[in-house]
Structure 1
């Protein structure tokens, strides 16, 4: 249960029988990106590489079966294993004894971690809880001894799907079925999109521009109000009804209470503090407000900011998407 709604989530489980070490990552889908992302994260966490990795006969491992025992391995997995330098071992079909530890680990983690607690305010909270419980579960493992015998970790394998795209007139690019904002000075220019399992990164001429948490739905948008400061400076009054503001709950709360009659000052404060984190930005607003005890409480703002907005749009309709129709 995430924020009161029943969700189907996936658990990527990796285990080491030698040290009796079990680990898992939570995901919102079961794509090939997730399959590889979980392994990269595991290697980075362990700080080393195994000489051999054993896989089940899943589609990300076996492209097709030839006869009873012959298999064609997935070329993406072969490239992945070649980069990290480990051998691939695929279990035989219908041989549960060859994968007992990892299958048992799935059941153990589900029962020990998510049977006692299955309600969370957000996906991120569920992730934090899983990590905390796994640390407890592995206190008696011999993983620290095993780490001494692992191969040296190589630089992180880049799993991004790379595409190029022209930024539309509303300063959006599309990755898969969703839209992501970029700074409005890039309208009409071509950018490089690096699409990861959990994140979207955007570059111009090999220079990093911005990133977004990846959306898992369809026809969703991810907007950073800081990407529209140039446009909002020209027409600050448009911010009141802009989707850019509505998509940032804690800023909308501040605007509605303190800046409804001073939109220009609101934009100015954000622009002058655009590199700061949430707490520092709140301090900047409080410094301007100076109403004695009537200041913005950080804990309340954070709570508002954690609310997951379900803002969906039709791809063909952009009315008032940016700042009241301003392009």
Structure 2
């Protein structure tokens, strides 16, 4: 947290000496952090390879370690805050019951109640927060006008859609720019940290630069925990993202949606304008495409083209993936979290590296990508690619019929039982032959190839003859050539 404050002041042009005085940090520490940050930014801009970019990014966002053993603990803890609020609620109940009276709790009495409960806290601290708690002045709102390129506001909004015949809750990640009137949104299946970060990366890529300030509410992706009444510990992943891109973090007060009113309104307008009339889609990609087209219409009057000239410099996309190590089991799958994903069968009992992104996994072996999978929404499920098992199936064709890999591909399973039943080896050969084709073209080629399959025994021969005769009867009937007996 100190590192973020130091770099924030440094970006505002404050000298090392003044930063050290203001934050009570050694000037050498300030100098070291700022120089490391500046060198990292220059390395990001001039990086020539993925490895150089990765090292430079690490230098920008890595944390400086502090010696905290001599720091004193805070006395106004969340427990004290909650106790004081409970005392205040009881005081309001007493006032309603007694009416006008002279037995109101003083700050001294409140201090005694808190210390009697076992908390060590000074009287002046209690008096300060007690007086704040009793303030009843109405809040005044100050109209704001932001310069172009200065501010963007972030929020999540829920939307219910019917996708592939199933009704579910999806999440709109929305970023709204008050100055230009531009807003962007993307549809996700969850609100996890990876999704939260990916939304930022997508947005900065789209606008081609970075806003100076991003505003959030107190969502868990932003605030890790509350310290006392007003202080917050920001999420480390968000701090790294802000250090890399160079934007300031602005977190609103609790229950103060008006402090980011632009995005609050945009979430509602996007949901109403785009998904109130159309809510049924064949798949998630179709819903996203529909959202993208709707946003083009909503942003027609925005000044985003002008605002682009006022943004901070473009940065290469921030790497949002987390890396995991997994071992391939005897079924040629890895268990990632609570689900199972297939990998090529030659990797059985080997270690692989898994790069986890918001919606998909990349799997590497010996630093080479071997496959990728869409992440499964749910738990204890399997995602198996039948192509990962072709080498093994060629040796064990009898294992195909009841394999989970075939059942995980309904179109192929149906085609196999309709046209290749009892001839698994030939089916596997054709599958290997046409695996580079698109899915629809693959199905067409497999149907054509089924007419050329060898007949291996009498039973299968009879089945083929019956199928041919049945097809001929249908054609004769269709063209009026069917012969009737006398």
The structure that is strand-richer by fraction is 1
Tell which deviates more after alignment, 170-179 or 66-75.
66-75
1:267 to 411, 415, 428: 428
Question: How many residue pairs end up in the alignment?
Answer: 292
- In structure 2, C-alpha distance between the alignment counterparts of 1:209 and 1:220, rounded to whole Å: 21
Separation in 1, partners of 2:369, 2:275: 38
What displacement does 1:289 show? 4.7
Distance 1:4 1:281, change over 3 A: closer
Q: For 1:47-62, list aligned pairs within 5 A.
A: 47-62=208-223
Paired residues for 1:252-291 under 5 Å? 252-282=413-443, 284-285=445-446, 288-289=449-450
Listed one character per residue, the Cα deviations across residues 63-110 of structure 1 (whole Å, up to 9, x for unaligned) are 233344332221111111111222212223333332010000111111
Task: Mark the runs of 5 or more structure 2 residues left unpaired by the alignment.
Answer: 1-161, 453-467, 469-486
Moved over 6 A (4+): none
8 Å Cα contact 2:412/2:443 also seen in 1: no
Asked if the contact 1:12–1:24 (Cα under 8 Å) also holds between the matched residues in 2, the reply is yes
Q: Secondary structure at the match of 2:183?
A: strand
**Over aligned residues, Cα RMSD in angstroms?**
2.1
Deviations 1:34-88 (A, max 9, x none): 2112111222222322222111121211223334433222111111111122221
Q: Once the 2 structures are TM-superposed, how far is the Cα of residue 279 of structure 1 from its aligned partner?
A: 4.2
Q: 1:106 aligns with which of 264, 267, 274?
A: 267
Greater percentage in helix: 2
Aligned to 1:125: 286
165-174 or 136-145, which moves further after superposition?
Answer: 136-145
Matched residue of 2:167: which SS? coil
2:355 to 194, 204, 224: 194
Find the counterpart in structure 2 of residue 140 from structure 1: 301
Conservation of the 8 A alpha-carbon contact between 2:420 and 2:450: no
In 2, Cα distance between equivalents of 1:153 and 1:165: 35
| 2: CA distance, partners of 1:258 / 1:287 | 10
Task: Determine whether 1:171 maps to 2:332.
Answer: yes
| Structure 1 unaligned regions, length at least 5 | 295-327
Structure 2 CA distance, aligned partners of 1:258 and 1:48? Answer: 55
3-state SS, counterpart of residue 377 of structure 2: coil
Q: 1: CA distance between counterparts of 2:222 and 2:389?
A: 44
Name the CA distance, whole Å, in 2 between partners of 1:100 and 1:116.
Answer: 25
| Bigger Rg, structure 1 or 2 | 2
1:38 matches 2:199? yes
- Compute the TM-score of the two structures, normalised by the length of structure 2: 0.57
Larger deviation, residues 269-278 vs 219-228: 269-278
In structure 2, how many angstroms separate the alpha carbons of the residues matched to 1:165 and 1:115? 43
Matches within 5 A, 1:68-107: 68-107=229-268
Q: Alpha-carbon deviations, 1:130-184, whole Å to 9, x = none? A: 2221222222222222223323332222222211111000011011111100001
